[in-house]
Amino acid sequence: MKDLRDYTYDGLKDLVERFGERPYRARQLHAWLFRGGVESIDEMTDLPKDFRRRLRDGGFYIGVVEVLKTRRSVDGTVKLLLGLEDGSGVECVLIPDGKRLTLCVSTQCGCSLGCRFCMTGGIGPGRNLRLSEMTAEVLAASSLVGSGLIEGYGRITNVVLMGMGEPLLNYDEVLRFITVLTDPKAMGFSTRRVTVSTAGVVPAIKRLGRDADINLAVSLNATTDVVRDRLMPINRRHPLKELLAALRSYPLRKGRRITMEYVLIKGVNDSRDDAYRLVRLLKGIPCKINLIPFNPFPGCGFERPGHERVETFWRILSDNHYSVVTRASRGMDIEAACGQLQGKRGL
Ligand code: SAH
Ligand code: SF4
């Protein structure tokens, strides 16, 4: 790996040592790369000229990720299409909401889990994104926001790993990304403002509980194995019982809760029985529930339930003392809503 943004602070320390440079050079590099957003080695002006030259001669560089296109929704959501070195495209989405400006980041170029209701799943497996590519999403979006892309918002406040792909299938790289995101000397997001969303890769959830202390979101989407098997093939490997047990023992810091995401699909998982089953299933798990009315796409064969259905589902959960919100679908008109990211170069 020769893109300097593929190195966390620890990696940079080793690199600097290998070059026989003073240890504090790693701190300087780290700050330039992840705070400064420089685009070439020569922009790092406080590094000795000779060190910069030796880095270049050694084949090191700073990858430039191009923003190929931006699309703006009527509701203020903005989708960015980034072009990666190997010619593939990846999308991330900026979602303004009150005081928050959330960036939804992709972790893979596609997804191998093939959930039936998800367009990303439909495009099939793609490769894992590297640290440099995930940080490029944040840096590119930050820089556009900094130059006034979205009126009233000066900077990104929250990051969710909820774009294309299953973050926990790109575990090591995602963990390094979380390190850079939350390191005060790098991107500096508070751990409370970073969320990883998973379809339920149980062994990796257990690992994550030990390795990181960001927020966890889980795409539950069904209350029985029969329905979940059908919607989310990963359920055949890690059924509900196993998933819920892992969530019950997930180490949560005081005051934190797991977010349960539940995509409501008409006639599939949106009945009153489903709502009551959900109440029982989640008992004892400190959580809040996000209901996401299904975002349809051509050829999916599923429909979004009517408002009344959603309202009834919401009320049953809420009457049973769950904190539950119905997530307004943002960016539907530009195919930036949940499950609509494809990374097509045409956007
Ligand atoms: N792979 C991870 C993160 C990306 S998917 C995961 O599955 O959690 C992000 C969210 O979008 C998930 O909660 C998923 O259930 C939801 N989603 C996928 N397709 C959707 C669709 N068509 N309509 C609404 N939500 C969808
Ligand atoms: Fe992959 Fe998540 Fe889409 Fe399922 S919902 S196919 S895990 S991106």
Q: What is the DSSP string of 288-315?
A: EEEEEE----TT----PPPHHHHHHHHH
Q: Which two tokens stand for residue 234?
A: 């990963």
Q: Which two tokens stand for residue 49?
A: 């000229």
Of ligand 2's listed atoms, the one at least distance from the Cα of 165 is 8
H-helix or E-strand containing 231?
helix 225-231
Tens of pLDDT along the chain (347 residues) come to 699 999 999 999 999 999 999 999 999 999 999 997 799 999 999 999 999 999 999 999 999 889 999 999 999 999 999 999 888 899 999 999 999 999 999 999 999 999 999 988 888 888 999 999 999 999 999 999 999 999 999 999 999 999 999 999 999 999 999 999 999 999 999 999 999 999 999 999 999 999 999 999 999 999 999 999 999 999 999 999 999 999 999 999 989 999 999 999 999 999 999 999 999 999 999 999 999 999 998 888 999 999 999 999 999 999 999 999 998 777 878 777 777 777 775 45
Classify residue 50 by burial, with Cβ atoms within 10 Å: 0-12, 13-18, 19+: exposed
Q: Which sequence spans correspond to the domains of the chain?
A: 2-61, 66-346
Cα 224 to averaged position of ligand 1 atoms, centre (Å)? 18
∠ CA 76-79-81 to the nearest 5 degrees?
A: 160
Show the ligand 2 pocket: residues with CB < 6 angstroms. 111, 113-115, 118, 120-121, 165-166, 199, 219, 339
Evaluate the CA torsion angle 33, 36, 42, 48 in order and state its sign. Answer: negative
Q: What is the pLDDT of residue 1?
A: 65
Q: CATH assignment of 2-61, given 2.60.120.560, 1.10.150.530, 3.40.50.300, 3.40.50.720?
A: 1.10.150.530
DSSP code for 248 = H
The single residue listed with the structure tokens 């339930």 is 305
> How is 79-124 classified by DSSP, letter by letter?
EEEEE-TTS-EEEEEEEEETTEEEEE---BSS-SS--TT-HHHHT-
Beta strand 258-264 with 78-83 is unpaired
The single residue listed with the structure tokens 């960016």 is 331
d(CA 29, CA 31): 5
295 CB neighbour count, 10 Å cutoff: 22
d(CA 316, CA 197): 24
Of ligand 1's listed atoms, the one at least distance from the Cα of 218 is 8
d(CA 130, CA 127): 9
Burial per residue of 54-86, b for 16 or more beta-carbon CB atoms within 10 angstroms, e otherwise: ebeeeebebbebeebebbbbebbbbbbbbbbee
Q: At what angle do helices 202-211 and 240-248 cross, to 10 degrees?
A: 10
Show the ligand 1 pocket: residues with CB < 6 angstroms. 117-118, 162, 166, 197-199, 219, 221, 261, 263, 292, 294-295, 338-339
Are 183 and 191 contacting, i.e. CB atoms less than 8 angstroms apart? no
Q: What is the pLDDT of residue 345?
A: 57
H-helix or E-strand containing 333?
none
**The pTM is what?**
0.95
Strands of 143-190 (E only): list them: 158-161
Cα 237 to averaged position of ligand 2 atoms, centre (Å)? 15
Q: What is the pLDDT of residue 346?
A: 47
Cα 328 to averaged position of ligand 2 atoms, centre (Å)? 19
Query: Count H helices, E strands: the chain?
Result: 12, 10
Beta strand 258-264 with 215-219 is parallel
d(CA 72, CA 80): 9
Catalytic residues: 91, 338
What is the domain class of 66-346 according to CATH? alpha beta
Query: Ligand 2: which of 91, 166, 297 to mutate, judged by most atoms within 8 Å of the beta carbon?
Result: 166
Backbone angles phi, psi at 242, to 5 degrees: -65, -40
Contacts of 73 (CB under 8 A, 6+ apart): 79, 330, 331, 332, 333, 334, 336
DSSP code for 35 = I
Residue nearest to atom 6 of ligand 2 (CA): 121
